[in-house]
Amino acid sequence: MRNFDLAPLYRATVGFDRIADLMDRALAADVAQPAYPPYNIEKTAENAYRISIAVAGFAAEELSVEVKEGALVVAARKAAEDTGRSYLHRGIATRAFERRFALADHVRVTGATHADGMLHIDLVREIPEALKPRRIEIARSTPAETAVDTTVEAKALDSAQA
C-alpha cells in the first residue's frame, strides 16, 4: 500500500483539517477493519440516507446509537447469557461491537428503528440557507433610461457651471 504525505495540505489550507483527517484514515494501512456486523448504506432521496445494520440476536435495549464528535457510533453489548444452554453449532454471532461512521457537515440523524434483526438509521443532509446556491438577478438598463440619466447629468453640469 502506498503512503501519502498530507503535510502540504495542512500547510496550504485553513479549516480543512477534518477532510485531511478522513483521508489519513482512509489511506492508513488499517487492514484489520472489522467486517462484523454487516451493513448497507443507501441513498433514499437527494439529501437522505439510510444505514441498515444486521444485528440478529440483539434486542433494542442492547443497542445504542449516538452522535459524538462528528461521527455516528453504533454499539451493542449482549446482556449476561443463560449458561444452561448447550449448542451443537452456534452461527449467530452475538459478540459486542462498536461501529463508527464519519458524518459529513450538516448531516444529522433523524431516527432509528429496530425490526426483524435489522437496525435502520435514517440520516438527512440539511444545507443551511446561507450555503445554498442563490441566483442573483442582473439589472438591465434600457436605452430610454440611459437617455434620461444623461439628460439629468447634463442639467447638473450646466447648473454647476453657472
120 touches 112 (CB < 8 A): yes
Residue 122 lies in a domain: yes
| 47 and 127 both lie in a single domain | yes
Give yes or no: residues 39 and 118 share one domain.
yes
pTM of the model: 0.64
The domain of 8 spans 1-33
Q: Residue 92 carries which DSSP code?
A: S
Which grid coordinates belong to 157? Answer: 453640469
pLDDT for position 121: 94
Which 3-state string (H, E, C) describes 51-83? EEEECCCCCHHHEEEEEECCEEEEEECCCCCCC
Q: Are residues 6 and 86 in the same domain?
A: no
CATH code at position 100:
2.60.40.790
Per DSSP, 130 falls in state G
Query: 93 in a domain, yes or no?
Result: yes
Range with the poorest average pLDDT among 19-28, 35-44, 119-128: 19-28
Structure confidence at residue 106 (pLDDT): 86
| Residue 79 within any structural domain of the chain | yes
CB 53 within 8 A of CB 39: yes
Q: Are 28 and 1 in contact (CB under 8 A)?
A: no
At 73-107, the pLDDT tens digits run: 999 998 776 677 788 888 877 788 898 888 888 88
Please tell me the total count of domains within the chain.
Answer: 2
